[in-house]
Amino acid sequence: MEPMEPPQDQSGGRGPRGQDTRKRQFQGGRGSKRQRTRKEKRVKEGSNDEVLLADVQALFAAQKLSNTGNSTTLKDKANNTDDPAPQEPGGLARGIEETATTDGVVTLPEPFTEIDVKVVEISSTGDGLGLHGSSNQIYVVPFSAPGDIVRAKVVRHFEDEHYSQADFVSVVQAGPLRDDNRINCKYFSTCSGCQFQMLDYPTQLKHKKTIVEKAYKNFSQLPPELVPIIEDTIGSPLQYGYRTKLTPHFDGPPGYISKHDKMKGARNYFTEVPNIGFMGKGLKRTLDIEDCPIGTDAVRMGMKSERSRVAKELDKYKKGATILLRESTLRVQNDDEKASKSIPDTIKVTGPNYTDFKSCIMDNNATSTEYINDFVFTNIAGSFFQNNNSILPVFTQYIREHILSPAPFSIDPQIKYLIDAYSGSGLFTITLSSLFTSSTGIDISGASITSARENAILNKLPTSQCTFIAADAPELFKSVTYPKDETVVVIDPPRKGCDDIFLKQLLRFGPKRVVYVSCNVHTQARDVGVLVRGMGDGGARYKIESLRGFDFFPQTGHVEGVAVLSRVESSGAELPP
């Protein structure tokens, strides 16, 4: 799977209908007539844009906002507060309301007007959804929580979709879930990395459970009776200081150079140290951020040293750059005299049996090392590996406990074989190998397969028990000859999920069990829906045994999903309509 990089703006500055929300200059005035929304490009499947639209539409439908005969609406609930929002003297921007034209059409606040928004719920993208004034328009405001009244700057209206994007300005009145004393970063509400620092951790976990619930409701296309109750989200042992990789960046020197001049060797030079950090929320602008509290101590140490190095070596950079900060661990047994010593530029962590010296790697091609319980993994530092080491022991143990049948019958063949699709450097193949006679990991990246084979050797696993093949996932079933009734397949795809070719081959092979791990529960829900319904070509179908979220990224709106499925034995039964 591909990691979400919390410090980056995942929208790329694009709004849910494709516009550049980072452009703030309002062009043209608004007359008395309703401004029409131009036709927008199609929303990308499984993207934050699609997820946000589904939440807006569900909120609209649930409250029957479009039904003028409905007696109870979100506006009634939002305005039903014992302590109304304070009013600015003199009728300032926060008092601006929508107004109706002579034909009864509501005119929305002009872009870049500041208004008060009563937040009703948090969307699956991490943004608050709220109301303002007398219209049914929903306002999407980041860094807000249910019950908050926040001042927001309107950015853009999407009238056909019944919502507007707005920037967070300030808290007018905090709701019951919000406590800004919890905020642990001075860049919160401007950096695009974290969304939930104002919420307590149990509330964050409850919300992430609803993300999984809504994903299967909105994207699986399955009737409710085929989706089991979502289990509680398993939290991260660390809520700060957990992230083992960060990638701050800086932009190139200012000034334009023509292509002709570039060919002659012309270049711009920095006149001052540029902002080094992460994207601002909704802006095409890098914020200067000298520290990030969700990073591990070693990564934060590396961030300080790299900022200093870049400032000294600015003349070396003709353009901007992304800086890799990856934690690496040197483990020494406590009975080794090296454990009592100190190593420069490391963070020393002493445990009952061993001492870890944690450093920060900045070279993309260097080798990083990390441990999951007694397993050791080395990787090319710039390649993908899960970025929250603290939760990996709990996470891999959960997979171990659920990958086999919960109550096998004596007549059922025993599951002896594991296929790990999208295996990367072997996380699941290696940590699960002791459960199986033979395990095979498959990945399209030759470099990842090289790392995986090295990791198998480091963990003393013979090739008869643990092998790796470099191949594209859709071709994996041509490379493996395990009997389907004795095989389980682990799927851990990128955020876009699995393509139809892979799913079709998986259903044709028909392994006894499937465990689907995903960093995007929305594309996971879509794919699991296909596995449950089947593809109508005589292949297998599956039932969902369990669904659960894991919080790999506390303080953010991201949740990892694990779906456990078992094959439906042919009985002639049809799916319910």
Q: Report the 3 state secondary structure along 95-106.
A: HCCCEECCCCCE
The domain that holds 215 is classified in CATH as: 3.40.50.150
Per-residue model confidence (pLDDT) at position 441:
94
Per-residue model confidence (pLDDT) at position 264:
82
Domain range for 289: 245-380
CB contact at 8 A, 515 and 545: no
Per-residue model confidence (pLDDT) at position 452:
96
The domain that holds 168 is classified in CATH as: 2.40.50.140
What does the radius of gyration of the chain's CA atoms come to, in whole angstroms? 26
**Count of Cβ atoms closer than 10 Å to residue 12 Cβ:** 12
Residue 309 forms part of a structural domain: yes
Per-residue model confidence (pLDDT) at position 105:
64
**Count of Cβ atoms closer than 10 Å to residue 153 Cβ:** 18
Picking from 101, 143, 131, the residue whose alpha carbon sits closest to that of residue 555 is: 143
List helix spans (H) across 437-499: 446-458, 476-479
Please give the C-alpha separations between residue 281 and each of 188, 286, 325, 566, in angstroms, as whole numbers.
Answer: 10, 10, 22, 41
Same domain for 372 and 394? no
Residue 149 forms part of a structural domain: yes
d(CA 93, CA 419): 59
SS3 string, 52-85, reads: HHHHHHHHHHHHCCCCCCCCCCHHHHHHCCCCCC
Same domain for 324 and 280? yes
Residue 133 forms part of a structural domain: yes
Residue 86 forms part of a structural domain: no
Residue 38 forms part of a structural domain: no
Residue 169 forms part of a structural domain: yes
Going by their DSSP bridges, the two strands 347-350 and 354-361 should be labelled as antiparallel
CA contacts within 13 A on the Cβ side of 363 = 5
Angle at 483 between CA 477 and CA 487, to 5 degrees: 80
Q: What is the pTM of this model?
A: 0.86
d(CA 500, CA 490): 17
Please give the C-alpha separations between residue 142 and each of 56, 190, 315, 421, in angstroms, as whole numbers.
Answer: 14, 10, 38, 36
Picking from 460, 474, 491, the residue whose alpha carbon sits closest to that of residue 565 is: 491
- SS3 (DSSP) at 115: strand
Per-residue model confidence (pLDDT) at position 410:
53
d(CA 433, CA 312): 48
CB contact at 8 A, 432 and 517: no
Same domain for 214 and 296? no
CB contact at 8 A, 154 and 110: yes
Same domain for 147 and 133? yes
**Count of Cβ atoms closer than 10 Å to residue 9 Cβ:** 21
Catalytic positions, written as ranges: 519
CA contacts within 13 A on the Cβ side of 127 = 31
Residue 76 forms part of a structural domain: no
Please give the C-alpha separations between residue 268 and each of 257, 274, 311, 410, in angstroms, as whole numbers.
Answer: 8, 13, 16, 74
Token pair recorded at residue 560: 């990892």
CB contact at 8 A, 369 and 376: yes
Per-residue model confidence (pLDDT) at position 571:
56
Same domain for 540 and 560? yes
- SS3 (DSSP) at 139: strand
Picking from 568, 471, 560, the residue whose alpha carbon sits closest to that of residue 4 is: 560
The count of structural domains within the chain is 3
Q: Which residues pair with 442 in a beta bridge?
A: 421, 469
- SS3 (DSSP) at 513: strand
Same domain for 353 and 502? no
Binding-site annotation, residues for S-adenosyl-L-methionine = 386, 422, 443, 492
Same domain for 398 and 547? yes
Binding-site annotation, residues = 386, 422, 443, 492
Residue 152 forms part of a structural domain: yes
Torsion region of 206: left, alpha or beta (phi above 0 gives left; psi -120 to 50 gives alpha) = alpha
Same domain for 165 and 217? no
Per residue of the chain (577 residues), what is the pLDDT tens digit? 444 444 444 344 434 333 333 333 322 233 333 333 433 435 667 788 899 999 998 787 766 544 444 444 555 544 444 433 333 333 334 445 565 554 556 789 999 999 999 999 999 999 999 998 777 889 999 999 999 999 999 999 998 898 999 999 999 999 999 999 999 999 999 999 999 999 999 999 999 999 999 999 999 999 999 999 999 999 999 999 999 999 999 999 888 888 887 788 888 889 899 999 999 998 888 999 999 999 999 999 999 999 999 999 998 998 899 999 999 999 999 999 999 999 999 999 999 999 999 999 999 999 999 999 999 999 999 998 999 999 999 999 999 999 998 765 556 789 999 999 999 999 999 999 999 999 999 998 999 999 999 999 999 999 999 999 998 766 777 778 899 999 999 999 999 999 999 999 999 999 999 999 999 999 999 999 999 999 887 789 999 999 999 999 999 999 999 999 999 987 544 555 5
Token pair recorded at residue 245: 């990789």
Picking from 345, 159, 152, 190, the residue whose alpha carbon sits closest to that of residue 281 is: 190
Token pair recorded at residue 38: 């131009």
Please give the C-alpha separations between residue 274 and each of 191, 257, 292, 300, 305, in angstroms, as whole numbers.
Answer: 17, 19, 18, 19, 16
Angle at 73 between CA 70 and CA 78, to 5 degrees: 165
Same domain for 371 and 420? no
SS3 string, 540-559, reads: CCEEEEEEEEECCCCCCCCC
Same domain for 559 and 419? yes
Q: Which residues pair with 168 in a beta bridge?
A: 152
Per-residue model confidence (pLDDT) at position 318:
87
List Cβ neighbours of 218 (8 Å cut-off, separation of 6 or more). 51, 54, 58, 522, 525
Same domain for 468 and 547? yes
Percentage helix, strand, coil for the chain under 3-state DSSP, each rounded to 5: 25, 25, 50
Same domain for 399 and 545? yes
d(CA 346, CA 455): 24
